[in-house]
């Protein structure tokens, strides 16, 4: 039988670089043919051959309600009838801004944009403008979108700023970016001692979903907060992935439970707040946000920012996930997946560790949860790839890379979890002992 995914992939590769509009979709890390999605509903999507998959990517986070939620669909259809885009303000943008601020009390104001990259890039410019400083700290394994200044890899030791991870990024653009090791307190303290007074911001994924699922330890996060306060640098939480995904109050509410009075200075959001449509945001205290054009000197703009159809999708999504019981139910489903996979791996004597928060999870073919990128990359990649394809053949779709997190939606049922765990058990049995 002709594999229509392969046919489409070959056709796509003729007109789109790599046949995809975002690299991770090309299955380069795991090999094989990407599945071209024909349609999706609830916890599932169907590929070009009509095969059904239980979807644990959910568009890399946005589809927290599951695909095609009726209330969201209705809201988008109604908004579309009233107009796709105006380039003028609408009430719905105000409603969405108010709905976001109601759940993220660390922010007084928010600016809506169209992608996480745009939000992160704009937050970076605003933090530099607000502090009058240029240097920034980010962490190895954290991804903040593909703005030039943030496409930087760790150098050797502390002194080395600015090692671009991408061609086309001139060294002078990244000369102010210092990359540190996640969860490494001594290195963090040394960096601040050396550069603290020149630091505009420290940007961090509080739960790092771009190295699968690695939590910032509470002591580490506490030191980030203390040192930023001590030296006048802004603590910027990149919650594009964790925002409204790990908790209604995002990851910052999880840390506020462990660290009394904790809050970041600025927050970057995306994914869930758009419900699958192109929408992201960044926000913070009034005195910082007012420095944005047109009220201040930091320029930032966007033709489709606050798009009326995207804001309808986001608002309807936030309305559903704010309902009583939503997070208890979602967390229970995610936990049952993680527990089921862990038990199946143990039974097959496969080194395995997993963690989850709200609707986000990660697992590693490692005996213990890794605390930083270097440890994550000690995972057995060929073994992961076998697991990936074994699950894919059985209609279970996890991230096509061992450094990516997974996502559960409110539409995933106990039966879906049971089917996933059964598939994993079968594949674990084929992986053999290490």
Active site (catalytic) residues: 143, 238, 271
Question: Which position among 103, 117, 177, 183 is part of the footprint of ligand KE4 (CB under 6 A)?
Answer: 117
Residue closer to ligand KE4 by CB (options 93, 238) is: 238
In sequence order, the 6+-apart residues with CB closer than 8 A to the CB of 191 are 137, 158, 178, 180
Q: What angle do CA 407, 241, 37 make, to 5 degrees?
A: 50
In the complex, the smallest distance separating the C-beta of residue 210 from ligand KE4, rounded to whole angstroms, is: 5
Q: Check residue 308 for interaction with ligand KE4 (CB under 6 A).
A: no
In the complex, the smallest distance separating the C-beta of residue 404 from ligand KE4, rounded to whole angstroms, is: 5
Residue closer to ligand KE4 by CB (options 123, 338) is: 123
In the complex, the smallest distance separating the C-beta of residue 211 from ligand KE4, rounded to whole angstroms, is: 10
Residue closer to ligand KE4 by CB (options 53, 407) is: 407
Q: Sign of dihedral through CA atoms 50, 38, 272, 309? A: negative
Q: What is the largest CA-CA distance in the chain?
A: 65
Instruction: Locate 235 and state its tokens.
Output: 């603590």
Residue closer to ligand KE4 by CB (options 55, 205) is: 205
Instruction: Locate 131 and state its tokens.
Output: 């502090």
Task: Provide the CB-side half-sphere exposure for 357 (13 A, CA).
Answer: 25
Phi/psi at 365 (nearest 5 deg)?
A: -85, 55
Omega before 294 within 30 of 0, i.e. cis: yes
Residues in the chain: 434
Q: Which of residues 311-350 bind ligand KE4 (CB under 6 A)?
A: none
Instruction: Locate 246 and state its tokens.
Output: 């790990």
Q: Check residue 267 for interaction with ligand KE4 (CB under 6 A).
A: no
In the complex, the smallest distance separating the C-beta of residue 406 from ligand KE4, rounded to whole angstroms, is: 11
Closest Cα to residue 74, out of 313, 240, 286, 263? 313
Element containing residue 353 per DSSP (H, E): strand 353-357
Size of the site for ligand KE4 (CB under 6 A): 19
Residue closer to ligand KE4 by CB (options 120, 162) is: 120
In the complex, the smallest distance separating the C-beta of residue 271 from ligand KE4, rounded to whole angstroms, is: 7
Residue closer to ligand KE4 by CB (options 210, 305) is: 210
Q: Which range in 47-55, 116-124, 219-227, 389-397 contacts ligand KE4 by CB under 6 A?
A: 116-124
DSSP secondary structure code for residue 295 in this structure: T
Q: Which of residues 353-412 bind ligand KE4 (CB under 6 A)?
A: 404
Query: Which position has the token pair 């002591």?
Result: 219
Residue closer to ligand KE4 by CB (options 136, 427) is: 136
In the complex, the smallest distance separating the C-beta of residue 254 from ligand KE4, rounded to whole angstroms, is: 15
Question: Which position among 210, 212, 307, 334 is part of the footprint of ligand KE4 (CB under 6 A)?
Answer: 210
Question: How many CB atoms are located within 10 Å of the residue 376 CB?
Answer: 24
Task: Provide the CB-side half-sphere exposure for 29 (13 A, CA).
Answer: 17
Question: Which position among 58, 62, 66, 120 is part of the footprint of ligand KE4 (CB under 6 A)?
Answer: 120
Cα–Cα distance, 171 to 26 (Å, whole number): 28
Q: Check residue 205 for interaction with ligand KE4 (CB under 6 A).
A: yes
Q: 205 and 236 in contact (C-beta within 8 Å)?
A: no
In the complex, the smallest distance separating the C-beta of residue 407 from ligand KE4, rounded to whole angstroms, is: 10
Q: What residue is closest to ligand KE4 based on CB?
A: 116
CA distances from 305 to 59, 191, 237 (A): 20, 36, 21
Q: Which range in 66-74, 111-119, 227-235, 250-258 contacts ligand KE4 by CB under 6 A?
A: 111-119
Question: Which position among 181, 238, 265, 416 is part of the footprint of ligand KE4 (CB under 6 A)?
Answer: 238
In the complex, the smallest distance separating the C-beta of residue 245 from ligand KE4, rounded to whole angstroms, is: 10
Q: Check residue 209 for interaction with ligand KE4 (CB under 6 A).
A: yes
Residue closer to ligand KE4 by CB (options 60, 384) is: 60
Question: Which position among 4, 24, 29, 158 is part of the footprint of ligand KE4 (CB under 6 A)?
Answer: 24
Closest Cα to residue 410, out of 71, 101, 50, 78? 71
Q: Check residue 60 for interaction with ligand KE4 (CB under 6 A).
A: yes
In sequence order, the 6+-apart residues with CB closer than 8 A to the CB of 374 are 140, 181
Closest Cα to residue 215, out of 322, 340, 351, 364? 364
Exposure class string for 149-162: b at 16+ Cβ within 10 A, else e: bbbbbbbeeeeebb
Question: Mask 138-167, x = binds ligand KE4 (CB under 6 A)?
Answer: -----xxx----------------------
Instruction: Locate 134 and state its tokens.
Output: 């240029």
Residue closer to ligand KE4 by CB (options 48, 204) is: 204
Interface positions with ligand KE4 (CB under 6 A): 22, 24, 60, 115-117, 120, 143-145, 205, 209-210, 238, 240-241, 270, 280, 404
């Amino acid at each position: 039988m002709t594999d229509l995914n392969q046919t489409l992939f070959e056709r796509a590769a003729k007109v789109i670089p790599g046949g995809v509009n975002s690299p991770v979709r090309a299955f380069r890390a795991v090999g094989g043919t990407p599945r071209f999605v024909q349609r999706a509903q609830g916890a599932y999507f169907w590929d070009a051959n009509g095969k059904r998959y239980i979807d644990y990517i959910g568009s890399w986070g946005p589809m927290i309600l599951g695909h095609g939620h009726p209330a969201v669909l209705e809201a988008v259809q109604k908004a579309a009838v009233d107009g796709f885009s105006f380039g003028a303000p609408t009430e719905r943008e105000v409603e969405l801004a108010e709905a976001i601020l109601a759940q993220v009390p660390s922010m007084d104001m928010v600016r809506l944009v169209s992608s996480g990259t745009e939000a992160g890039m704009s937050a970076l410019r605003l933090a530099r403008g607000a502090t009058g400083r240029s240097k920034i700290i980010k962490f190895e394994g954290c991804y903040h979108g593909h703005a030039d200044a943030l496409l930087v890899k760790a150098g050797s030791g502390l002194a080395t700023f600015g090692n671009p991870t991408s061609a086309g990024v001139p060294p002078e653009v990244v000369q102010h970016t210092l990359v540190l090791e996640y969860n490494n307190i001594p290195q963090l303290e040394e960096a601040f001692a050396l550069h603290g007074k020149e630091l505009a911001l420290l940007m961090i994924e509080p739960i790092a979903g771009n190295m699968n699922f690695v939590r910032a330890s509470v002591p580490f996060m506490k030191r980030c907060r203390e040192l930023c306060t001590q030296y006048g640098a802004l603590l910027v939480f990149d919650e594009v992935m964790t925002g409204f995904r790990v908790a209604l109050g995002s990851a910052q509410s999880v840390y506020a439970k462990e660290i009394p009075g904790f809050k970041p200075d600025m927050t970057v959001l995306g994914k869930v707040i758009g419900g699958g449509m192109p929408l992201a945001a960044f926000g913070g205290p009034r005195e910082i946000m007012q420095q944005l054009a047109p009220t201040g000197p930091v320029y930032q703009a966007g033709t489709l920012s606050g798009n009326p159809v995207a804001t309808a999708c986001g608002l309807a999504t936030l309305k559903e996930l704010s309902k009583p019981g939503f997070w208890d139910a979602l967390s229970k489903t995610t936990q049952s997946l993680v527990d089921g996979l862990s038990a199946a791996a143990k039974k097959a004597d496969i080194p395995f560790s997993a963690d989850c928060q709200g609707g986000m999870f990660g697992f590693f073919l490692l005996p213990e949860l890794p605390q930083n990128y270097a440890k994550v990359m000690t995972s057995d990649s060929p073994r992961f790839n076998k697991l990936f394809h074994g699950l894919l053949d059985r209609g279970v779709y996890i991230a096509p890379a061992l450094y990516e997190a997974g996502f559960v939606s409110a539409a995933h049922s106990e039966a879906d979890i049971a089917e996933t765990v059964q598939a994993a058990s079968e594949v674990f049995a084929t992986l053999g002992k290490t």
